Amino acid sequence: MKNSNTFKKVISHAKEYGFVFQSSEIYDGLSAVYDYGQNGVELKNNIKKYWWDSMVKLNDNIVGIDSAIFMHPTVWKASGHVGAFNDPLIDNKDSKKRYRADVLIEEHREKILVKINKDVAKAQKRFGDSFDKEQFLTTNGRIIARQKKIDKISERYQKALDNGNLHELKQIIIDYGISCPVSGSKNWTDVRQFNLMFDTRLGSLSEDADVIYLRPETAQGIFVNYLNVQKTGRMRLPFGIAQIGKAFRNEIVARQFIFRMREFEQMEMQFFISPGEEDKWFEFWKEKRIKWHLALGFGNDNYRFHDHEKLAHYASAASDIEFNFPIGFKELEGIHSRGDFDLTQHIKFSGKKIQYFDHKINKSYTPYVIETSIGLDRMFLSVLSMAYTEENIGKNNEKRVVLKIPPALAPIKVAVLPLLKKDGLPETAKKIFNEIKFDFNCQYEEKDSIGRRYRRQDAIGTPFCITIDHQTKIDNTVTLRYRDSMKQERLKINEVQRTISEKVLMKNLLN
Ligand code: GAP
């Protein structure tokens, strides 16, 4: 079972095996900023490729771009981020800790739901097969009262968000006795809005230097390039523009490892469509994206959709794909129906005619947009935490930690290992290594016992090991060892390249 204890183990494993390091660690780190190590960067690149191939390579109506992080400051006025990209913050006067008011309320509501689920589980155990969940939920007094409480909170919360009523957000926190997790007190300040964008200055320290922002989403780089791409690529609606790149947010509740970072990467795709087709394409992309996740084989139960109550300022509908992280179900990807909000705003602020001429109806209009937006770092975390497995093996119940990363995403695909450091075995192993290293990431290792080398490869998720032993010299075969089953089989040297290639293909996931 994956839980907060697993989370701690995943974090320390990520560091110990070169996946993720705290940024500027020798200076005690920088909060919510992380570096990817030698194995982390490979895993990250493979996740990017999995996403990019599924979008750009497999769809002839989706193309990619790579826009700059710095953009004209007016972009962020037009997009609404200067005015509305805020979090409602509240401080506890005793602990001096700062929280997002919306998160405090949502977590409180979630706690009540957990209590309901516990009661249901208990009753289910007590009544066995004769248990009627529906009847229990609708007749049990305690459950009804709790559900009523949730509904009431949701109603007030939604209304407060819709009206931007910060006073009411505070009142909900007071009325439901929500206390500070650190001090336990209910001594709260008023709720204030806090803009999440980082700003800096362009050029030297001249007096008239302009304030510019580090982009808080990659999407605007796509919107401002809509015309460039549409015209130069002669794109016809519906078509998409995809991009992978860094985004920056001055997150206040910045905790939970790489789940919520101040500098992170997004993989976003804006799909431009004719107005009126948004419902159809919203459903289309929801389905397509969940299939992409499920293909990794981490189990359907670990994903769920969550429709937004609090819509971002640009969205007319939004649904999250939530993943069962060791810290619970949390947002992994957002699918947003953005209407013509962004392009219309850019028309207004730039004065440029950003439209599409539809030959079918002989008319120009501003396209609507469906967006898919996934955090690369969160995706990385989902893969790492699902892959992390502890097993007891062998007669002595020895513990092994293995990362069961899907082979196509694994940092190293195959380790080439001479059984001993003598008898010409290293020479044969190096010859094999030098032949296959052009095809996929390989590692050559000859230090320590073969068992210890297998464990090290298990710990970084290498799906295959090739071992060169004395029999290799006799019949030109090697041992192929499988990471997950630990099974071994003999394989002809001249079949190594083809056999491994087939097993690590990105196509195996994309199909
Ligand atoms: N363009 C739309 C947009 O940016 P979002 O829901 O704010 O939408 C999209 O962000 C995705 O980016 C999220 O689902 C999440 O995976 C990732 N993300 C957002 N903030 C993040 C943060 N502070 N750290 C890591 N990932 C983040």
Quote the ligand 1 centre to 374 CA distance (angstroms).
6
pLDDT at position 417 over 70: yes
- Give the single-character DSSP code of 14: H
| pLDDT tens column, 328-344 | 999 999 999 999 999 99
Instruction: Write the DSSP symbol of residue 54.
Output: I
Q: Is 268 in the pocket of ligand 1 (CB under 6 A)?
A: yes
Q: Does residue 436 have a pLDDT over 60?
A: yes
- Secondary structure letter of residue 129 according to DSSP: G
CB-based burial label for 505 (10 Å; 0-12, 13-18, 19+): middle
Amino acid of residue 309:
E
Question: pLDDT of 138-163, one tens digit each?
Answer: 999 999 999 999 999 999 998 998 88
Check pocket membership of 264 for ligand 1, CB cut-off 6 A: yes
DSSP assigned state of 298: S
Asked if residue 369 lies in contact with residue 273, where contact means CB atoms within 8 angstroms, the answer is yes
Distance from Cα 214 to the centre of ligand 1, integer Å: 15
Residue with CA nearest ligand 1 atom 20: 260
| pLDDT tens digits for range 170-181 | 999 999 999 999
Q: Which residues contact 500 (CB under 8 A, 6 or more apart)?
A: 413, 414, 436, 439, 440, 464
What span, in angstroms and rounded, lies between the C-alpha atoms of 123 and 115? 12
Kindly give, in sequence order, each residue whose CB lies less than 8 Å from that of residue 151, ignoring residues fewer than 6 positions away.
none
pLDDT of residue 174: 96
Look at residue 316 in the predicted model and tell me its pLDDT.
76
Question: Is 337 in contact with 318 (CB distance < 8 Å)?
Answer: yes
Question: What interhelical angle do 496-504 and 425-436 show, nearest 10?
Answer: 50
Dist. CA 86 → ligand 1 center (Å): 14
Q: Which of 199, 206, 272 is nearest to 239 (CA)?
A: 272
pLDDT > 70 fraction of the chain, expressed in percent and rounded:
96
d(CA 473, CA 325) in angstroms, rounded, equals: 47
The pLDDT of 39-63, averaged and rounded, is 98
How far apart are alpha carbons 255 and 240 in whole angstroms? Answer: 33
Mean pLDDT value across residues 257-281: 96
Block residue for tokens 């008239």: 208
| Overall pTM surpassing 0.85 (yes/no) | yes
Is the CB of residue 373 below 6 angstroms from any atom belonging to ligand 1?
A: yes
Asked if pLDDT for residue 275 goes beyond 80, the answer is yes
Structure tokens at 415: 């380790």
Ligand 1 touching residue 463 (CB < 6 A): no
Mutate to test the pocket of ligand 1, among 20, 34, 250, 264 (most ligand atoms within 8 A of CB): 264
332 ligand 1 Cβ < 6 A: yes
- Residue range 471-477: average pLDDT? 95
Mutate to test the pocket of ligand 1, among 378, 381, 382 (most ligand atoms within 8 A of CB): 378
331 lines ligand 1 (CB under 6 A): yes
The mean per-residue pLDDT over the stretch 80-109 comes to 92
- Dihedral sign for Cα 225, 231, 237, 238, please: negative
Helix H segments across 328-403? 341-350, 376-387
Neighbours of 326 (CB within 10 A): 24
More confident: 211 or 416: 416
Q: Among 417, 76, 113, 354, which residue's Cα sits nearest to residue 220?
A: 76
- In the predicted structure, residue 1 carries a pLDDT above the cut 60: no
267 lines ligand 1 (CB under 6 A): no
- Tell me the per-residue pLDDT of 282-316, one tens digit each, with 9 for 90 and over: 999 999 999 999 999 999 999 999 987 666 777 77
* Mutation choice for ligand 1 from 195, 331, 382, CB with most ligand atoms inside 8 A: 331
Residue-level pLDDT at 309 = 67
What distance, in Å, lies between the first and last C-alpha atoms of the chain?
29
User: Which residue has the least CA distance to atom 18 on ligand 1?
Assistant: 375
- Confirm if 141 and 149 have CB atoms less than 8 A apart: no
Query: Would the pLDDT of 78 be above 90?
Result: yes
- pLDDT at residue 208 is higher than 60: no
Tell me how crowded residue 402 is: count the other CB atoms within 10 A of its CB: 22
Report the range of poorest mean pLDDT among 391-395, 410-414, 419-423, 446-450: 391-395
Which pLDDT tens digit goes with each residue over 117-146?
A: 999 999 999 999 888 989 999 999 999 999
DSSP state letters, 433-469: HHHHTTTS-EEE--SS-HHHHHHHHHHHT--EEEEE-
pLDDT given for residue 16 in this prediction: 97
Tell me how far the alpha carbon of residue 266 lies from the centroid of ligand 1, in angstroms: 7
Q: Looking at the CA of residue 373, tell me the nearest atom of ligand 1.
A: 9
Our mutation pick for probing the ligand 1 site, out of 48, 71, 266, counting the most ligand atoms within 8 A of Cβ, is 266
Mean pLDDT of 490-503: 96
- Looking at residues 232-255, what average pLDDT do you find? 93
Which ranges of 4-100 would DSSP assign to H, the alpha helix?
Answer: 4-16, 38-52, 73-78, 81-84
Instruction: Give the pLDDT confidence score for residue 394 in this predicted structure.
Output: 82
Question: Could you give the C-alpha distances from 504 to 55, 249, 432, in angstroms and in order?
Answer: 20, 35, 18
Q: What is the pLDDT of residue 255?
A: 73
Q: What's the confidence (pLDDT) of residue 162?
A: 80
Compute CA distances 149 → 105, 172, 482, whole Å: 12, 12, 52
